[in-house]
Amino acid sequence: MQQGFRAAVFVLALLAAGSSRADGYELDTGDIVRVSVLGEAAYPMEVVVDDRGSISLPLLGDIRARGLTTLSLSQEIQRSFQERQLILDPFVKVEIGQYRPFFISGAVARPGSYAYQPGITVRHALAIAGGFRPTTAGETVPALTIADLRSERANLTIEEYRLKVRLARLHAEGRLKEALLAPPDPPIELGEGLIADIVATEQAQLRARLIAFHSDVSHLEASIKRMKKQAKMVATAKDEREAAMKSQLDELESVKTLRQKGLMTNSNVMALERAHNNYRVDLAQAELQETRAQQDILNLESELRKKRQDREFQVISDIQDTQVSLAKLRSQLKYVTDKLLFVFEYGEHRSFEELHDSVKISIFRRNYQGARDLVADENTEVRAGDAIEVSVVANKGFYVPGAAQSGRAGSADGAARQAHGRLTGH
């Protein structure tokens, strides 16, 4: 309960500090931003930063957002409106709709993805994930055999490769590529036939999804093209009616002049006036048809944009879910091995503070400049999209709390290395 209270305090502190740090936040893939343009009916709207680091907006198309703050992105959108002479003096406001999450795995109570807040540190992330847990699968020593562990490792390896191929398929789908690039160096535990089946299954799914998407887009594009052609025909017919009405009006004025001179009867003038009224009715109907055609075109174009945006949202969501699953899978076997070493050697559960020198915190961080692995501690600031792995390493601090037991530490280190070799089959 006390640990849950500390987690709540951490979250409240983050919310208070979030607004002051959000201004310098750099956007990247997975962030959702809310764009408002004063006086434009299509706004405000929420758009996602796609895997290329761009957002797609009506009238403007793709705008690069990766690496920009909300302020610099709003300025970029303003420039785009002005360069295209769509709005002379636009007022644009960009806000964070939803931050991309951070991920935490390993020796924590509840590994997974969590909502990011500016200013969060590794200590806060540990509290949100339920705290540090060197062992969480029970309070007794698990009676696992080497064969069981090897079997589990083989199954995890197969599933890891499946997820890596799925991730490659999703990246290819996001870029509208028809072929995925299979991960190199597949595990030796997998036979060539199984590897080929995994890749072929994902390749078939990629083709099927792209065919369905392209079919929907082609249908909408063909409908827009057909509607534009009809609109052009309606506009031409309207122009012809307008020209005929003008000619008829000139004729009517001429006939009225002749009537004043006594050279034309009233009945002829009235007939021409009726004809002129008919022309005006026809012209009004043509203008209404033209307006309806233009509105139909706008509706179809909006539907096409929504189709593309929905696909981007779905692909990015699937990528994030797959990355979370992959991070969990990659850490699971290592976590089980560390847990077994710890429990078999001591049969007790120690706190984060007691194992401070033996707890390894790694952060995989990717941004618009590239990706890198960081060695972190409890006070390291977490960024959106970070993948945090918490593990217990088998060093002297892991087994021995004090330097006075160095002899015991050396024997424990040797035992740990031998146990690790048996567990992994090396």
Residue 169 shares a structural domain with residue 282: yes
pLDDT confidence of residue 58 = 86
Residue 90 shares a structural domain with residue 226: no
Q: Hey, how many other C-beta atoms are within 10 angstroms of the C-beta on 41?
A: 6
Q: Is residue 168 part of a domain?
A: yes
Residue 79 shares a structural domain with residue 188: no
Q: Is residue 426 part of a domain?
A: no
Q: Is residue 386 part of a domain?
A: yes
CA distances from 279 to 218, 238, 239, 243, 287 (A): 39, 11, 12, 10, 12
Residue 126 shares a structural domain with residue 180: no
What is the average per-residue pLDDT within 395-423?
40
CA-wise closest residue to 200 among 185, 179, 218, 226:
179
Rounded percentage of the chain residues whose pLDDT exceeds 70 = 71
Residue 195 shares a structural domain with residue 93: no
Residue 328 shares a structural domain with residue 194: yes
The model's confidence at residue 55, banded by pLDDT at 50, 70 and 90, is very high
Q: Is residue 280 part of a domain?
A: yes
What is the extent of the structural domain holding 207?
A: 142-347
Q: Tell me, letter by letter, the H, E, C secondary structure of 353-412.
A: CCCHHHEEEEEEEEECCEEEEEEECCCCECCCCCEEEEEECCCHHHHCCCHHHHHHHHHH
pLDDT digits (tens, 9 = 90+) for 264-281: 667 766 777 777 677 777
Tell me, what CATH number does 35's domain have?
3.30.1950.10
The model's confidence at residue 401, banded by pLDDT at 50, 70 and 90, is very low
Residue 153 shares a structural domain with residue 224: yes
Higher pLDDT, 218 or 340: 218
pLDDT of 12 higher than 70: no
Higher pLDDT, 97 or 395: 97
Q: Which of 347, 381, 416 is the last residue of a domain?
A: 347
Cβ contact 47:57 at 8 Å: yes
Cα separation, 346 vs 33, whole angstroms: 50
Domain count, the chain: 3
